[in-house]
């Protein structure tokens, strides 16, 4: 077999050339291939997706497909979930291995295990704490939760997952996104003073023993760089100009932004809510720019105005790494019988991570 086609030969290709080559390769591969496109993906790539949606939905649909090759146009943890949930004969591929997630990177296994050890000096962690990881996390953290009787959550089911966790143990260690944990907990009636932030690298995470004993949710000090840009003053200024506006935000936004929003929800919930909106309504949306721009174009003919919350242009920079050039590269290698950029979670890690995912899926 000849050597793999080199990405360097693709980087200078025009998008139009890539588009033609992507379509030809897709035609050659047929049902052996499924391309997954996350909502935050750039349009030049998103248009080639066979399935679109959020990360968990896409992974589950790919696992049910006939495809041998799953190309995930998203970021690293998404391709890992696709590998964990897929059948043994299916192969998960990430077009650009540099497409990571800054939030996921804020909680790594070594730091979380150190946190667990330090908490064990103060409380009985195995009997008092359920570890809950947001799906936006590395496979080894999902495996950590699997080992310790924990579970995975999404932005759609976080409240249900926390209810399940509290039915088993009195406390939750929630990572990597502090905002999703705080906003969900507060919505369930948990006071802010019973949710504390663990700062990795500080003794006891910067907390006192009293704070740990009193806390119901221990939040990891992580956040999404995109949703971090939205500020409560953005909402205030927009409402001064258009007071009739309905505000909808992703729960990865700050507590202050979420408190000023009329609706909170995942990417799927945001899409569903605005698509059901009455003509003549105006919406201010706190989530990633590519999704908002597509939604604006979709709803404009229906008389619904959709606006991006921040006055600054900001998109998911790591998601943006997946471009038509990388997609064409992996596809044309597949047509030649070569797999590049395979994402393969180690078998023992897969078993433990899948147990945490299965606990979540069992609550659907």
DSSP string, 269-335: HHHHHHHTPPTT-EEEEES-HHHHHHHHHHHGGGT-EEEES-SS----TTGGG--HHHHHHHHHHHH
Are the CB atoms for 79 and 94 separated by under 8 Å?
A: yes
Rounded to an integer, the average pLDDT of 315-320 is: 68
Give the pLDDT confidence score for residue 103 in this predicted structure: 84
Is the pLDDT score of 320 beyond 80? no
Tell which wins on pLDDT, 314 or 110. 110
Give the pLDDT confidence score for residue 325 in this predicted structure: 96
Give the pLDDT confidence score for residue 313 in this predicted structure: 67
Residue 309 makes CB contacts below 8 A (sequence gap 6+) with: 230, 234, 235, 238, 247, 249, 257, 284, 285, 286
Give the pLDDT confidence score for residue 315 in this predicted structure: 61
Is the pLDDT score of 42 beyond 90? no
Domains and CATH numbers, the chain: 7-99+318-345 (3.40.50.10800), 104-225 (3.40.50.10800), 227-308 (3.40.50.10800)
- C-alpha 173/C-alpha 132 separation (Å) is 6
Rounded to an integer, the average pLDDT of 23-34 is: 97
Give the pLDDT confidence score for residue 55 in this predicted structure: 85
Rounded to an integer, the average pLDDT of 169-187 is: 98
Sheet strands side by side (includes 51-53)? 51-53, 33-38, 69-73, 91-93
User: Percentage of the chain surpassing pLDDT 70?
Assistant: 98
Residue 88 is classified by DSSP as: T
Band of the pLDDT at 2, cuts 50, 70, 90?
A: low
- C-alpha 189/C-alpha 16 separation (Å) is 52
Residue 171 makes CB contacts below 8 A (sequence gap 6+) with: 123, 128, 129, 130, 215, 216, 217, 218
Average model confidence (pLDDT) across the chain: 94
Kind and range of the H or E run holding 60: helix 55-64
Give the pLDDT confidence score for residue 333 in this predicted structure: 95
Give the pLDDT confidence score for residue 271 in this predicted structure: 96
Listed as own residue / partner, the contacts of 276-281 with beta carbons closer than 8 Å and 24 or more positions apart are 277/246, 277/304, 278/304, 279/303, 279/304, 280/304, 281/244, 281/246, 281/305
Per-residue pLDDT tens over the stretch 107-157? 999 999 999 999 999 999 999 999 999 999 999 999 999 999 999 999 999
Number of Cβ atoms within 10 Å of the Cβ of 128:
15
CA angle 99, 103, 109 (to 5 degrees): 95
Residue 66 is classified by DSSP as: S
Phi, psi for residue 176 in degrees, rounded to 5: -95, -5
Are the CB atoms for 82 and 72 separated by under 8 Å?
A: yes
pTM across the whole model: 0.93
Give the pLDDT confidence score for residue 285 in this predicted structure: 98
Give the pLDDT confidence score for residue 317 in this predicted structure: 65
Give the pLDDT confidence score for residue 356 in this predicted structure: 98
């Amino acid at each position: 077999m000849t050597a793999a086609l080199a990405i360097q030969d693709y980087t200078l290709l025009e998008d139009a050339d890539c588009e033609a080559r992507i379509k030809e390769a897709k035609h050659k591969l047929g049902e052996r291939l499924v391309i997954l496109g996350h909502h935050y993906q750039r349009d030049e790539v998103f248009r080639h997706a066979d399935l679109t949606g959020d990360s968990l939905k896409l992974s589950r649909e790919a696992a049910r497909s006939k495809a041998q090759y799953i190309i995930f146009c998203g970021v690293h943890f998404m391709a890992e979930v696709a590998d964990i949930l897929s059948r043994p004969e299916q192969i998960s591929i990430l077009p650009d291995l540099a497409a990571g997630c800054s939030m996921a990177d804020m909680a790594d296994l070594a730091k979380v295990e150190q946190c667990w050890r330090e908490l064990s000096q103060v409380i009985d962690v195995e009997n008092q704490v359920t570890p809950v990881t947001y799906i936006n996390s590395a496979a080894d953290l999902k495996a950590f939760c699997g080992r310790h009787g924990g579970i995975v959550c999404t932005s759609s089911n976080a409240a249900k997952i926390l209810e399940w966790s509290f039915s088993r143990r009195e406390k939750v260690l929630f990572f990597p996104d502090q905002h999703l944990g705080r906003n969900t907990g507060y919505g369930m009636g948990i006071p802010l003073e019973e949710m504390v932030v663990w700062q990795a690298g500080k003794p006891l995470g910067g907390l006192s023993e009293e704070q740990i004993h009193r806390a119901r949710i221990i939040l990891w000090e992580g956040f999404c760089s995109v949703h971090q840009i939205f500020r409560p003053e953005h909402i205030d200024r927009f409402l001064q100009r258009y007071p009739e506006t309905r505000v909808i935000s992703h729960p990865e936004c700050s507590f202050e932004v979420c408190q000023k929003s009329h609706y909170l929800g995942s990417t799927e919930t945001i899409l569903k809510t605005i698509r059901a909106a009455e003509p003549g309504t105006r919406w201010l949306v706190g989530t990633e720019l590519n999704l908002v721009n597509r939604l604006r174009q979709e709803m404009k003919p229906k008389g619904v105005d959709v606006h991006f919350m921040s006055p600054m242009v900001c998109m998911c920079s790591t998601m943006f790494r997946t471009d038509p050039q990388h997609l064409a590269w992996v596809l044309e290698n597949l047509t030649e019988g070569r797999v590049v950029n395979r994402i393969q979670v180690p078998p023992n890690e897969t078993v433990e991570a899948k147990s945490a995912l299965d606990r979540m899926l069992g609550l659907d």
